[in-house]
Chain A
């Protein structure tokens, strides 16, 4: 049976730790979720929320970020809803992780880490806000 949890916080960098602690609180001890998976989810949530705070609400009064977490035996789903500027995930540059240090860009790792840590990502701009959905499968996808 799936369990669902929600936390809403103001879009401030001070909220990042609360989002990470929320993930830990509701994932620790769940069958099929080990510490590595918890770190991956925390990393993806932290990076996504940092983007929303730094870019989504740039030039706007800080609004809120709603995090919905759903855990069932097969997968873990995180949905982040915000009401700031939308973004286009496919337009984000992919960092060159093999480049020598002289050519290293210091930006662009956030979305890359989200993609590396999660199995599926979906982004929708709706009348009810921007919704980023991240899925991590706890078992191998059948036929996937």
Chain B
């Protein structure tokens, strides 16, 4: 798994590539916690380059949504992989966080 972090005005984009499983999810959790600790509380996590995500990845996203909101921000997802969408839907993730079909839409939801 690889992540790329890009800071834009009023939001931070975290692009994730590869697989999010129990081995790699803690690495993403560290990245997200560090961004929030540095004050980058509005996060877009782009999962479009992710080919597989298990409950370990989901747990990381849920934890980061809670963390960003507790700091006055939000975490929003961009995802197009049907398998990952299914994981998000099975867990009810759509009820508690916003999921967009593109990075641009997720980013612009924070305002321009």
Contact = CB atoms under 8 A, between A and B. Distances in A.
B83 A36 contact: yes
A104 B82 contact: no
A11 B81 CA distance: 28
The number of chain A residues touching the other chain, given as a range, is 20 to 34
Interface string A119-135: 00000000000000000
A106 B59 contact: yes
Interface string A59-86: 0000000000000000000000000000
Contacts of A142: none
A104 B90 CA distance: 14
B55 A113 contact: yes
B95 A42 contact: no
Interface in B72-100: 82-83, 86-87, 90-92, 95-97
Interface of B: 19, 21-23, 52, 54-56, 58-59, 62-63, 65-66, 69, 82-83, 86-87, 90-92, 95-97
Interface of A: 13-14, 16-17, 20, 35-36, 39-40, 42-43, 46-47, 50, 53-54, 95, 97-101, 104, 106-107, 109-110, 112-113, 116
